[in-house]
């Protein structure tokens, strides 16, 4: 069989210029298209932005073919009026897309099917069971929120985390079936690898996200106050409450800028005031990704104490801009942040985690030269291990293993 394969990528989320799932779908499609004949199945609503992205590519850039498939009218109404049903709508799309995958297979005779987004291991992809070698992932999501860390003070977030933990248990219990449908399973976090291994399923550890090549960062002169940056949704699991408590415990004059929005923004602003951090914390709300990329240079450290995240785009971009990272040693951040690139605090009791985060903040505040050293290490590590081009090479190696 030739090394240039005909591949169908299933990328429910796929939009140029975005981070998170949409960015994963778009960048993965472009990277795989460099080595293979690629067709991408995605949502019809992504079409205008995809066309803009294709038009902006340099002449001669290998591009995939796109096939579009949309939700049912009922699911479209549900997504519009009840955002909390987005997971149900996603699963509905996967079920309804199965005949479309079969139709495309009859038309193009693919060598391989590959599910890319969403990257949750709790899904049942449309490409399963089509009688064609199938790759799933990279997927993540097996990290659970420990019982003692659940957000008891915020009922909606408590419900979300509890349901997610229960969903994880259900998903983990049926992972053995993945071996029946997949020629290769790719995972991006150690917790997810262990979940599959417990079910007897071998996996490849591959990042789900990447960055493009950037020049070596130029450090600014030491600022009077250490500047910390958080970027992400203001949900419980992102750990903004841990960041605020750690900043208070550190007892230093560092500043924290919070970029992002979400259902806990008002509660986080209230918590900052209750902790007496009014002059040290600024909530800037959501900003466009291009704007955020330009802002990284104005900060010293990326503070991201997420309890369960995959390989987060903002984290990689911060490292690529020369920012060391303070995070929890779990999920994607625990996988990405290598020794000498920042501080990883073990997942433990609340007081111990806050204390560990506070010590890291105080260390950077007192030893500014360490910020520069760890920041340069973070940039080097990101460039060596997490460039999209490298990720494309890893995916190609998986394809060769499956079909070669």
Domains and CATH numbers, the chain: 6-140+174-210+387-403 (3.40.50.2000), 227-385 (3.40.50.2000)
Q: How far apart, in Å, are the Cα atoms of 124 and each of 63, 116, 119, 219, 332?
A: 27, 12, 11, 45, 22
SS3 category, 126: coil
Give percent of the chain above pLDDT 90. 77
Q: What is the pLDDT of residues 246-284, one digit of tens each?
A: 999 999 999 999 999 999 999 999 999 999 998 899 999
Whole-prediction pTM: 0.92
**Partner residues linked to 205 by β-bridges:** 187
pLDDT value of position 219 = 65
Q: What is the pLDDT of residues 184-204, one digit of tens each?
A: 999 999 999 999 999 899 999
Question: Are 208 and 189 spatial neighbours (Cβ–Cβ below 8 Å)?
Answer: no
Average confidence score pLDDT of the chain = 92
Which one has a higher pLDDT value, 310 or 350?
Answer: 350
SS3 category, 112: strand
Q: What is the pLDDT of residues 27-76, one digit of tens each?
A: 999 999 999 999 999 999 999 999 999 999 999 999 999 999 998 888 88
Tokens of 298: 């104005």
Q: Is the pLDDT of residue 332 over 60?
A: yes
Q: What is the pLDDT of residues 166-181, one digit of tens each?
A: 999 888 888 888 878 9
Residue 340's pLDDT band (boundaries 50, 70, 90)?
very high
Average pLDDT over residues 319-342: 94
**How far apart, in whole angstroms, are the C-alpha atoms of residue 1 and residue 250?**
60
Question: Are 165 and 145 spatial neighbours (Cβ–Cβ below 8 Å)?
Answer: yes
Question: Are 303 and 243 spatial neighbours (Cβ–Cβ below 8 Å)?
Answer: yes
pLDDT value of position 88 = 87
DSSP 215: P
Q: What strand order describes the sheet that includes 204-205? A: 65-68, 37-42, 6-11, 112-117, 134-139, 184-187, 204-205
pLDDT value of position 1 = 46
pLDDT value of position 77 = 82
Q: Is the pLDDT of residue 2 over 80?
A: no
pLDDT value of position 76 = 80
């Amino acid at each position: 069989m030739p090394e240039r394969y005909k591949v169908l990528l299933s990328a429910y989320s796929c939009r140029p210029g975005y981070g998170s799932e949409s960015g994963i779908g778009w960048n993965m499609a472009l990277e795989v298209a460099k080595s293979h004949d690629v067709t991408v199945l995605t949502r019809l609503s992504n079409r205008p932005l995809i066309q803009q992205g294709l038009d902006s590519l340099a002449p001669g850039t290998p591009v995939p073919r796109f096939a579009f498939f949309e939700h049912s009218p009922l699911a479209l109404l549900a997504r519009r009026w009840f955002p909390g049903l987005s997971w149900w709508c996603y699963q509905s799309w996967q079920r309804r897309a199965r005949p479309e995958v079969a139709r495309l297979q009859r038309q193009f005779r693919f060598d391989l099917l590959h599910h890319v987004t969403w990257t949750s291991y709790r899904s049942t992809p449309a490409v399963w069971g089509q009688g064609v070698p199938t790759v799933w992932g990279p997927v993540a999501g097996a990290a659970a929120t420990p019982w003692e860390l659940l957000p008891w003070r915020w009922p909606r977030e408590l419900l979300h985390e509890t349901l997610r933990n229960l969903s994880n248990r259900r998903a983990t219990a049926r992972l053995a079936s993945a071996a029946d449908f997949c020629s290769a399973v790719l995972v991006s976090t150690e917790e997810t690898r262990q979940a599959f291994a417990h079910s007897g399923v071998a996996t490849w550890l591959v990042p789900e996200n990447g960055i493009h090549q950037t020049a070596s960062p130029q450090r600014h002169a030491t600022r009077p106050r250490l500047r910390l940056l958080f970027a992400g949704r203001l949900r419980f699991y992102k750990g903004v409450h841990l960041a605020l408590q750690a900043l208070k415990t550190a007892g230093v004059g560092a500043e924290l800028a919070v970029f992002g929005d979400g259902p806990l923004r008002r509660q986080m602003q209230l918590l900052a005031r209750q902790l007496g951090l009014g002059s040290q914390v600024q909530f800037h709300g959501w900003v466009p990704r291009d704007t955020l990329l330009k802002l990284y240079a104005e900060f010293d450290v990326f503070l991201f104490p997420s309890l369960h995240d995959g390989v987060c785009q903002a984290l990689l971009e911060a490292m690529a801009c020369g920012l060391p990272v303070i995070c929890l040693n779990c999920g994607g951040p625990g996988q990405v942040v290598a020794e000498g690139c920042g501080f990883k605090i073990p997942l433990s009791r609340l007081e111990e985690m806050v204390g560990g985060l506070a010590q890291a903040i105080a260390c950077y505040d007192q030893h500014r030269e360490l910020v520069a050293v760890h920041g340069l290490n973070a940039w080097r590590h990101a460039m060596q291990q997490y460039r999209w081009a490298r990720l494309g090479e890893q995916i190609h190696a998986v394809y060769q293993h499956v079909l070669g």
